Amino acid sequence: MRLLVRSWNLYHGRTHPPTSKLHLEQMVRLVTADAPDIVALQEVPLWAVRRLEAWSGMQAAWAMTMPALLGPLARHITNADPPRFRSSLTGQANVLLVNPHFETGRHRRIVLNPELSRADQLLGSHRRICHSLEVDAGPERLLAANLHASNDPDPQLVAVEIDRAASFLSGIEPVVLCGDFNVRRHGVPGFSEPIDGVDQVLVRGFELERGPESWPEERRRTSGVVLSDHAPVEAVIASTS
């Protein structure tokens, strides 16, 4: 069994550097155009989660990390000034997209920063989540997981969150763990080695046939702008059995 897996922080559909236009649908269609098997997304506005299956042609499982403050109105306000509002009004989620040829099972999640207070959330901080989805990929069942750790200047605090995600996934194999770790080259015991960056595709119980590797900038450049401030990371993985 071979699988094409990708991870991308969508930056709420914005460009880098930020412009006044959002490109969320275009980004989702781009990263799923060649029918990958699993795609992990971070920073997806809540208004978009129910549109992802139509845009991608894939199955979607999502976990909210920040609630929307103004409901449907938030999208229109954010569209008027994306660099200013980001997810503060629209909310956001982590998402796992799975090829429609596969069956999916149990969907679980864990909060990586449970110490976050309600006051912190009102001031703009948000929950950091790792969620996992059982995937029946033909002859083998695997676990796909997706995390987005805190963007904190103290790497030790971020490492605690990643360790919580690792504990959440302990005793399960094979696993593919994707996401924005927000700390460079952070390894997870028992998983494959990280690449040089914050965005990762790590595996346990799989072999890496290709990658992980980041897309070149040209692959996400359109009409003179670059989509997101993160590049997608992808890998081809193979069963060891």
Work out whether strand 38-45 and strand 2-9 pair parallel, antiparallel, or are unpaired. Answer: parallel
**What is the band of 241 on the pLDDT scale with cuts at 50, 70, 90?**
confident
The number of distinct structural domains making up the chain is: 1
Mean pLDDT to the nearest integer, 188-214: 97
Mean pLDDT of the 63-86 span: 60
Average pLDDT of 172-179? 97
User: What is the C-alpha separation between 176 and 47, in angstroms, rounded?
Assistant: 27
Mean pLDDT of 30-45: 97
Of 91, 43, 94, nearest in space to 68 by CA: 91
Q: Are strands 233-239 and 206-214 parallel, antiparallel or unpaired?
A: antiparallel
| pLDDT higher than 50, residue 78 | no
Q: Which long-range contacts (CB under 8 A, 24 or more apart) does 162-166 make?
A: 162/112, 162/186, 162/188, 164/110, 164/112, 164/130, 165/110, 165/112, 165/130, 166/190, 166/191
Lookup result for tokens 């995600």: 165
We report the CATH number of the domain holding residue 197 as 3.60.10.10
Domain that holds residue 17: 2-239
Q: Please tell me the predicted confidence (pLDDT) of residue 198.
A: 97
Place of tokens 């989702």: 28
pTM equals: 0.91
195's tokens: 């690449």
Q: Tokens for 182, please give them.
A: 């927000």
pLDDT at 202: 98
Tell me, what's the pLDDT at 85?
46
